[in-house]
Structure 1
Amino acid sequence: MDALDVARWQFGVTTVYHFLFVPLTIGLSVLVAILQTMWHRTGNERYLKLTKFYGKLFLINFAMGVVTGIVQEFQFGMNWSDYSRFVGDVFGAPLAIEALVAFFLESTFIGLWIFGWDRLPKRAHLASIWAAAIGTNLSAYFILAANSFMQNPVGYRINADTGRAELTDFPAVLTNKVALITFPHTLAGSFLVAGSLVTAVGLWHVIRNRGSADTGAYRFATKFGSWVVLVASAAVLFTGDIQGKIMTDVQPMKMAAAEGLYTTESPASFSVLTVGSLDGSREVFAIKIPYLLSYLGTGDPNGTVHGINDLQAQYATQYGAGSYTPIIPVTYWSFHFMIAFGMAAGAIALLVLWSQRKGRTPSSKWLLRAGLAMPVLPLLANSFGWIFTEMGRQPWIVFGEMLTRNGVSRSVSLAEVLTSFAAFTLIYATLAVIEVKLLLRYAKAGVPDVSEEHPIDDTPDDAERPLAFAY
């Protein structure tokens, strides 16, 4: 073990941990805005209760996401200074815009939304949550644009004197074809997570608190969340299909590794299960669906998909001697787990909707257990998706331009990286306990009583009232 290995583990652990909060924040911000819009348009108290209920869960998750996200910025300078030096001119623009515009937008308007209940005009208060949701999604786009440069470098030149990548076409970076499809795919995955949480919490209250005064609100939340999950599942499949074709074009090794495809095939079959040799150089046993991989990779059922061994030989000739093959078991299983967990969440959503057909009230303990598993499934799918995205690019940190081993900080010792890794792991474990306890506590508490609350009209006459924290 050396500093490079530990630095990679540290970045992987902190990134995956941070991304546990990101999709829920992205999706739940929009769903809370939709619920408040429904209350604004109908005046139905049910939607106000659900807005404040799920808004509280959104705020807990948002705060935790901000705390864990700060570490990501510092890691570039801590353990990956050579990478930061190489790519800083390109990364600087989208990450600066994300911090100064998108994050400023979401954090400012979240503050107005928190303290604006009974203080801001209803329309202005509604606009604040929509502005926060838009800022959250814009933030995701700029970060994904920066990440997409690592997958498919565009809009740059290499300065031979400094050995750095220099930005030459910022619009090209923002319109990178990898970013243009990764963004909607990530959004779909985020709504899959958020819809699953809305469904799980609503279903728990429907089954455990049958006959309560707020059963109608929980039933609506359960159906609303389930439909969000189904629509998001369809969007994930659609965008994932497009993403697979772009990936085959710009990173053919990643597609081959995702399917354990060792030799070039035309047509190529999709692997349901593949067992490879211990050295990862050949296929031993496989269960496949004919023609499907060719279609997923090229759009043509008879299309050619290049294999791992052929691509390794091609890259060795193009970039020099060395291994350009990612860790096949990691890429293969992370890709398949991503698909399996995402599909499982959609299947449970269908089951939940079926259980409430024609006004029925679900009561099955097995359904409740499946429903409570719903938020975990898309979180796992998202996590495995990012593991696949980043591990499938290896050994490149910037595809075709910089190897991962060349991006690590040269002056950082193994002991220093181990110390920071242990510290971050301990802090994150503590934060995980806090997050889960807070979410469970407020989810079990149920919707708030709003019967004595009287949100003001668009012409307020209570200017002397102090700001009130609504939660």
Structure 2
Amino acid sequence: MNDILDPLLLSRWQFGLTTLYHFLFVPLTIGMALLVALLQTFWVATGRLHWLHLTRLFGSIFLINFAMGVVTGIVQEFQFGMNWSNYSRFVGDVFGAPLAMEGLLAFFLEATFIGLWIFGWDRLPKGVHLATIWLTSIATILSAYFILCANAFMQNPVGYRLDAATGRAQLTDIGAVLTNQVALAAFPHTLFASIMFAAVVIVATAAWHLRKGQHVETMRRALTFGAITNIVAFIGTVLEGDQLGLAMVRTQPMKMAAAEALYNTATGADASFSLFSIGTPDGSSEIFSLRIPYLLSFLSTHTFTGTVEGINDLQAQYTQQFGPGDYTPIIWVTYWAFRWMIALGVLSMLVSVAGLWLTRPGRIRAGRTVPRWAWTVAIWTAPLPLLASLVGWVFTEMGRQPWIVFSLMKTADAVSPSTTGLMVLASLIAFTVVYGALAVVEFRLLRKAALTGPDDWEAVHHETAPAQLATVY
């Protein structure tokens, strides 16, 4: 019973639940804001109504998701004071700076310009109205960057000094915090991953309507736009993920070793990438693995002869550096989260490639129809980039353990001393129930908007200039 009511364990579960739930909305907000801005730009530049229809349709999906993301995001900051007061006291001076910038600058701009975009369709000049959605997109991207800077401090603390009298970290260089190498690498990786998810939502919506034979010309363009965007974003995600991996090796070598289940330091051919691995129950050694020689060395150092530090050697090094303790994360979690992140992203990209091939112009002109199962696959694989992002964050945060701030503060020391397990359990249950209900509401609203499809031509004619009305598809 004591283990069940352990405040540390329950606080970790609660923060993990609320963080991952909030992140359900983050990538779609970031990615969809940008893609809606592009769709509206296409309409303004060409005057073709299908781009306006798609702007209105996916703009409504963006707004629904944005509203839900705001509601769930508020809870995050309160938890720092409720369940993690020791952490808040220790890093509040540093951690609070990028969070304040996110709230006072990025979110303020986001809320302002999203309001102008919503209510400005009939009231603002077309170019000004277009600028509001672009500024909304830029604000969402800025918001993500400031949050990632705060998180990057937990991965690679910079720009601070420890106050010997208070035992707190004090901010000394905000520039260093905002240019943390982990943040600079994680930001584009996160941005491209968010664009992937927004793109496949567009693909899935288009696939549903095309399967029904509805809004065919408009939805063909949506399918092509979404699929191409997903593929391009996947390439960007992979390239920036490589840079993030290099930053991870430099700042948290134990996380890379755990990601590959590499127990002993290896060089060259021995520093291989494992496709599948089985370890001992205590996680101290490897029993069996299927590996690609040299690949881990290349991924970690960009050379085929580089050295990659192993779990056992790093554990010995950290024990000597930080004192007795277990500095190894849960290996099976980090190992499989890393692989599922990659696999889900690759599968999503392949679905888009297949979709472009099955709907290529030559095939359509030849009168060949797309198999019904292909539309079903496109619809049901829409969550893949989101799931990849979620397990990626599990890897990022679990791979840092036992540290809440790497090398400075352990997670066990960060929990609020006055918080009881019963208190956390009660709030955990409440959050689970409320968030579960909100998830149902969110899904139904998004589904209704997606299945309703774009506005009819007559519904938007008053917002379109006469010359543009003559240009239909």
Shorter-chain TM-score range: over 0.9
Partner of 1:86: 90
3-state SS of 1:166 partner: strand
Task: State the 1:456 CA deviation.
Answer: 7.0
Provide the rounded CA distance (Å) in 2 between the counterparts of 1:119 and 1:359: 43
Task: State the 1:449 CA deviation.
Answer: 1.5
Provide the rounded CA distance (Å) in 2 between the counterparts of 1:371 and 1:360: 18
- Residue 165, structure 1, aligned to residue 197, structure 2: no
Number of corresponding residues: 454
Equivalences for 1:278-317 in 2 at 5 Å? 278-317=281-320
Gaps of 5+ in 1: 458-471
- Residue 409, structure 1, aligned to residue 416, structure 2: yes
Partner of 1:460: none
Provide the rounded CA distance (Å) in 1 between the counterparts of 2:185 and 2:45: 33
Task: State the 1:359 CA deviation.
Answer: 4.8
Contact 1:121 1:456 in 2 (8 A): no
Q: Per-residue CA shift, 1:244-288, capped at 9, x if unaligned?
A: 111011100000000100011002000100011111111011001
Provide the rounded CA distance (Å) in 1 between the counterparts of 2:464 and 2:57: 20
- Residue 76, structure 1, aligned to residue 80, structure 2: yes
3-state SS of 2:204 partner: helix
Task: State the 1:322 CA deviation.
Answer: 0.4
Provide the rounded CA distance (Å) in 1 between the counterparts of 2:337 and 2:323: 28
Task: State the 1:134 CA deviation.
Answer: 0.5
Equivalences for 1:424-443 in 2 at 5 Å? 424-443=431-450
Equivalences for 1:49-128 in 2 at 5 Å? 49-128=53-132
Partner of 1:180: 184
Provide the rounded CA distance (Å) in 2 between the counterparts of 1:151 and 1:306: 18
3-state SS of 2:458 partner: coil
- Residue 454, structure 1, aligned to residue 458, structure 2: no
State the one-letter code of the partner of 1:163. Answer: G
Task: State the 1:369 CA deviation.
Answer: 2.2
Provide the rounded CA distance (Å) in 1 between the counterparts of 2:184 and 2:156: 12
- Residue 139, structure 1, aligned to residue 123, structure 2: no
Q: Per-residue CA shift, 1:69-124, capped at 9, x if unaligned?
A: 11111110110000000000001111101001100111111111111111111111
Contact 2:359 2:370 in 1 (8 A): no
Q: Per-residue CA shift, 1:116-136, capped at 9, x if unaligned?
A: 111111111111111110000
Q: Per-residue CA shift, 1:407-463, capped at 9, x if unaligned?
A: 000000000000110111111000000011111111111111243532277xxxxxx
State the one-letter code of the partner of 1:94. Answer: P
State the one-letter code of the partner of 1:431. Answer: L
Partner of 2:263: 262
Provide the rounded CA distance (Å) in 2 between the counterparts of 1:51 and 1:450: 13
Task: State the 1:242 CA deviation.
Answer: 1.0
Partner of 1:376: 383
State the one-letter code of the partner of 2:59. Answer: G
Task: State the 1:365 CA deviation.
Answer: 2.5
Percent identity of the aligned residues? 57
Where do 4+ consecutive residues of structure 1 move more than 4 Å? none
Task: State the 1:375 CA deviation.
Answer: 2.0
Equivalences for 1:204-283 in 2 at 5 Å? 204-209=208-213, 212=214, 214-267=215-268, 268-283=271-286
Contact 2:340 2:391 in 1 (8 A): yes
Contact 1:312 1:325 in 2 (8 A): yes
Provide the rounded CA distance (Å) in 2 between the counterparts of 1:21 and 1:373: 18
Q: Per-residue CA shift, 1:51-82, capped at 9, x if unaligned?
A: 00000111111111111111111110110000
Provide the rounded CA distance (Å) in 2 between the counterparts of 1:313 and 1:93: 35
CA RMSD of aligned residues (A): 1.0
